[in-house]
Each structure stands twice: as C-alpha cells, then as structure tokens.
Amino acid sequence: MASVILLLVFAFIDRMEFSDAENYLINYNAVFANELSTDMDISFKYMAILADRLGGITALFLMYSLLSVSLKLMAIYKFSMNIILSLMIYASFYFTLHDIIQIRVAVASSFFLFFLFALLQRSWISSVSYFILAVIFHLQSIFIIAFLIYIKTINNRIRIFFSLILSYIIGALFVLPAMYQLADVFSRYIPAKVIRDITTYYVNNDSVNFTNHHFLVNITITLMYLFFVRFKGLKREELFLLKAISFSLCIFLAFHKINVFAWRLFEYFNIVILIFMPYALVRVKQRHFMILFVYLYIISNFYKSLELWGLI
C-alpha cells in the first residue's frame, strides 16, 4: 500500500521545478547521444537505458526515488530506536532534498546507512557490497574510505574535539589552494564543471554559511556529547554514530571554502542523523531542552523544504 501511495506521489511531481532536474535531463539525453560526462557515476547510464524503455525521464526519476525511499524506510525500521522520530526527521527535509532533488545521492547515502550497520555487525562481505553499491550510484561515496580511516584513528572525546579544530584550520589554510593547484595540473582528467567550481571559489572566496541550522544542530549535539556525556556509558552503535556525525562536521569544516563540495559531502554523510537523533534525545540529561531542540530542528527542516518546493 505504501509503495502504491509513493508511486502516485512521485508520478505527479513536476521534477523540472527543482534545481537539479535540468542537469539530469541533460545527462539523460547525453546517454543516448554517447556524450555522457566522465564524472557521471556508473549506474546512471544503465538506469537511463532502463528508464527509456519504461517511459523516459519521468521513469528515471521514479526509479531512483522509489529505490532510495524504500532503502531509507528499511534502514529506519531496522536500525532506529525511535522509528516515529526518525520518520519525522526524514520527512521534514531529507525526503525533499534527496528523494526529490538529489536522486543519485539519495540512493548512495541509503546504501551508506546499510554499510554502517554491516560494519558495526562486522559483516565484512556485506560492508564491501554496500560500499561498492554506494560508489556505483554516486562517486562521492569514495569518501567512505576517509570515513573508515577517521573512525579507526579517532577513538575518544579529545581526538574528536581536536579533529574538528584541525579540520577547520586545514580547510581555512590549505584545502582550496591545494585543490586549485591540482585542478590546474590535472585539468585534462578532471571534469570541466569541477574545475569551474574550484576556480570560482578560489577567485571569489565564497565560503559556507556557518549559521545554517543543519551545521548548528550537528555541532551542538556533538559538543554536548563531548562535554556532558560519559563515553563509558555509551552503547557501541551510539559511539559509532557519534563518530559518523563528527566526521560529517570534519568534512564540512575541511571543505568550507568550497561551498558546493562542503554541503554535498556534509548532506551525504549527515544522513546518519536519522538514526542518531533518537539516541541523543534519550542520552542528554537536559531532557526538556533536547525535546525542544529536536522539534525546533524538525520545524526548521520543514521550513527549508517548503523553500525548496517554492512554497515560501
């Protein structure tokens, strides 16, 4: 029943009203003109060919969205300790951002959730399989390798705290100049759009907005854990998810001089918030504050979603 409702919802959405839709249409047409960009992930070509047999670009959007929504709902059902809260957070923002707009990231980040818990359960074959699927659906999933290094080396509150500070310093001083130089040296092998983005940010020095509520929510929860929660009392999966949240912050801080990279990577890894927020709600002793905090976060998410839909 839920699948039928979702199919009807997705079928009547005009995707061309959203920012990324035109790029998908261009790449969809490029598949059949043998002009598909080299920075497009492996799966897109085959999804486009299948969609062409099922009804064209609308079918492509439907296929991606139904796959990503199904995977996220399965992950919430299997892994969340408070399914209702996770669904509220998902519906308030990530449904619109991922499953309506950033459809390739939507599927890849869903596989990332399954990868996380396969890793927690030490199911190595499943972990590798989910990692490969995530990379197939979006190339930025390769940053999962950096995530693995992070969770292996950052194993206490002091290291988490200093990893955040160090990420900001590295991002402020080194990342953008280094990427600008690499883009210049390897311009033959890097997609033109990526080079244009890096050059634009290098010239204009247009960094991210640190007052964005997604960043503020994550940094607030992380700092509350670091300063007010005893790590010895944390469940293994809770500490693992906290590391995932702090890694998303480190990525954001490291790339904060390159706006589009920072947000795309942050939003990818921050999908963990769907599973982690229920832990935070229970763990932090200031219970009334946390309840208010979480619901303000959800309301802010809905407001942002309405903006994306063009209703505000």
- Read off the pLDDT of residues 175-200 as tens digits, 9 standing for 90 and up: 888 888 887 777 776 667 777 777 77
Report the predicted TM-score, pTM, of the whole model to 2 decimal places: 0.91
Other Cβ atoms less than 10 A from the Cβ of 134: the count is 26
User: Looking at residue 15, what is its pLDDT?
Assistant: 64
Pick 28 or 248 by higher pLDDT: 248
User: pLDDT band at residue 14, thresholds of 50, 70 and 90?
Assistant: low
| Average pLDDT over every residue of 283-295 | 82
Distance CA 222, CA 266 (A): 15
- Read off the pLDDT of residues 230-248 as tens digits, 9 standing for 90 and up: 888 888 899 999 999 999 9
* End-to-end Cα, the chain, rounded Å: 31
Using CA atoms, how far residue 56 sits from 38, 51, 116, 184, in Å, is 22, 5, 34, 38
- Asked if the model's pLDDT at residue 6 lies above 80, the reply is no
User: pLDDT band at residue 142, thresholds of 50, 70 and 90?
Assistant: very high
Encoded tokens for 49: 């060919």
- Read off the pLDDT of residues 81-102 as tens digits, 9 standing for 90 and up: 999 999 999 999 999 888 888 8
User: Looking at residue 42, what is its pLDDT?
Assistant: 80
137, HSE (Cβ side, Cα atoms, 13 Å): 22
- Asked if the model's pLDDT at residue 216 lies above 80, the reply is yes
Pick 6 or 182 by higher pLDDT: 182
What's the sign of the alpha-carbon dihedral 88, 91, 93, 94?
positive
5, HSE (Cβ side, Cα atoms, 13 Å): 4
User: Looking at residue 9, what is its pLDDT?
Assistant: 60
